[in-house]
Amino acid sequence: MTTDNSAPVSGSIMVVGGGISGLTTALEAAEVGYEVFLVEKEASLGGRVSQLKHYFPKLCPPTCGLEINYRRIKDNKNIKVFTMSEVQKVEGNPGDYTVTLKTAPRYVNENCTACGECAKVCETEISNEFNFGMDRRKAAYLPHNMAFPQRYIMDTAMGTDDRDRVIEACKYDAIDFDMEEKNIDLKVGAIVWNTGWQPYDATKIDNLGFGRYQNIVTNMMLERMASINGPTDGKIIRPSDDKAPATIAFAQCAGSRDENHLPYCSYICCMASLKHATYLREQYPEAKIYIYYIDLRTPGLKYEKFYANLKQDENIFFIKGKVAEVSEESGTGNINLVAEDTITGEKVRQTVDLLVLATGMQPAAAIDKPNADLNYNEEGFIMNDFSKGGMFAAGCANKPADVVTSNQNATGMALKAIQTLVRR
């Protein structure tokens, strides 16, 4: 007996956040047959992982999976993507929500062919936040070369002259500075919050000197430097003098496992720093790498294997101890650090060319809480209430996690959302 061919559709699902976990929830639900509205506040989908060079432990580029996911979106009419959009408010009950979306003006309409003529003539430059401000970009820009949708955006920093120039350069009438913020209401049966995480603001960790000394960078900045589409075309260099670093230290738990900052473990930073050691080793075969840690959280077969491989490298040193103090060596820009080696009990003093802070993750909702009836823990993670249903948090909006775990979770939450619709 062949059953009917129709998709089991009854109501729609909204997914808030278009990073890897949001993409996963949206696609998995849509491929069951449900209509999905995918809402992303940035101009491109991809989220945090689109800033990464490689995933651990496979050392494969996230763009590969993103490309597949974008292709899945292209091939699926069930998904409607809203970029530059944020949820303003959610009203209603499980199975019957009205969501008000606010869409910021892109100043570029669907006529854009991504030909890039606007960027050529635009003279205004703005800080490139995709690269954490390490370089500048034109105020007429594509978010990055793997951006999806592939459409330019105009920053309002452009003056009248520049605006005239870009409008003149665009042969397709795609630029429109009269665009305004738009609000729309959407009816959905369930909402999954995949709002992800932000790197913890390293300037708040006063003793670690970020922002005071140029050669102290965060792990995410290192990630951008290592990426070929980053500010240094893939070269990891010292910000102060663009020189190749010969000694690099990593300060683990920069903010994490710390009552004054993030009391929890951010899950990914140990593996991330080990991964960063592989980036450095590839570029600098002789560089000495020092990793200061409390515990190396590399559990399970795959992660232990990754760590075991790095232990073979005689120029990578693992020191159990937390970096407590930093200062700058005068004249050289080198970083002096002080840490306590908890095994020997001795104070370790070391001078390195570059210090990388393994900053942790803070849920986006800790900074900007959605206007919806959700439960949060003290740190801003959204706690799920399955008995209530209707709205769910997935990925790092729910708890600190690596990409695999986030995606498992994001897949499951697609089903929880579907259950809400089925139960109606």
Smallest distance, another protein to C-beta of residue 376, A = 11
Smallest distance, another protein to C-beta of residue 372, A = 21
Contact present, 102 and 86 (Cβ < 8 Å) = yes
Identify which of residues 288 and 320 has a Cβ nearer to another protein in the complex: 320
Identify which of residues 87 and 222 has a Cβ nearer to another protein in the complex: 222
Identify which of residues 97 and 267 has a Cβ nearer to another protein in the complex: 267
- Using alpha carbons only, what angle is made at residue 79 by residues 190 and 72, rounded to the nearest 5 degrees? 125
Smallest distance, another protein to C-beta of residue 20, A = 7
Smallest distance, another protein to C-beta of residue 367, A = 18
Identify which of residues 124 and 407 has a Cβ nearer to another protein in the complex: 407
Nearest by Cα to 14 from 422, 312, 417: 417
Q: Is 1 exposed, middle or buried (0-12, 13-18, 19+ CB in 10 A)?
A: exposed
Smallest distance, another protein to C-beta of residue 409, A = 6
Smallest distance, another protein to C-beta of residue 162, A = 22
- Is residue 57 reached through a cis peptide bond, with omega within 30 degrees of 0 on the bond before it? yes
> Following CA atoms 233, 238, 243, 246 in sequence, which dihedral angle do they give, to the nearest 10 degrees?
-110
What is the C-alpha to C-alpha distance for residues 243 and 254, in angstroms, rounded to an integer?
A: 25
Contact present, 374 and 193 (Cβ < 8 Å) = yes
Nearest by Cα to 218 from 298, 296, 276: 276
Identify which of residues 7 and 157 has a Cβ nearer to another protein in the complex: 7
Identify which of residues 41 and 144 has a Cβ nearer to another protein in the complex: 144
